[in-house]
Chains A and B, each alone.
Chain A
Amino acid sequence: NAGVMQNPRHLVRRRGQEARLRCSPMKGHSHVYWYRQLPEEGLKFMVYLQKENIIDESGMPKERFSAEFPKEGPSILRIQQVVRGDSAAYFCASSPMTGGDGYTFGSGTRLTVV
């Protein structure tokens, strides 16, 4: 029973490029959450998605960031025109139902913007 799968583990982008981070939830989980961890900080909530729906994106920066969770395939966090300040670890979590008691986190994607 595979856990939450995130890829790539490490991603390097030049300023101005696009970054695409992928998250496959655990089998049977239809709720996905993205968090960002800036250097030497705890994780901060970005967005909550269910299949084909964004439920809450209150933690997402208003510009350049978007997220989707299509009917088929992984959830994607997309960052357009990356800047140095986007360098962080991005974690995805999933749960079988809405709720903060059943989180399983992936191993994260470490984005470095050069």
Chain B
Amino acid sequence: DSGVTQTPKHLITATGQRVTLRCSPRSGDLSVYWYQQSLDQGLQFLIQYYNGEERAKGNILERFSAQQFPDLHSELNLSSLELGDSALYFCASSGEGSPYEQYFGPGTRLTVT
């Protein structure tokens, strides 16, 4: 158990809908990262937050947005969902200082029908 929690574990929704994925980092970790894992794209970095501020952005679609709250939990919002958004979404967290190891949560499996 990495100490990172994600909810829900599974989500099934229809095209065009909007969903919110939630992540709680390990105790004391200020950085939260979101990754998408799909069969065709592999594991891709989406976005990073550090202590409430956006720190780095990857291949995140404009339909997707994220935020990190004062209690350090993070939410990833996915809107106008398409079939191709079906994937495993992982959240990871890391602490201060080298080696900045990222600990991954159990993931949320999103299925868009």
Q: Do A and B bind each other?
A: no
List the interface of chain B (C-beta within 8 A of A): none
Chain A interface residues toward B at CB < 8 A: none
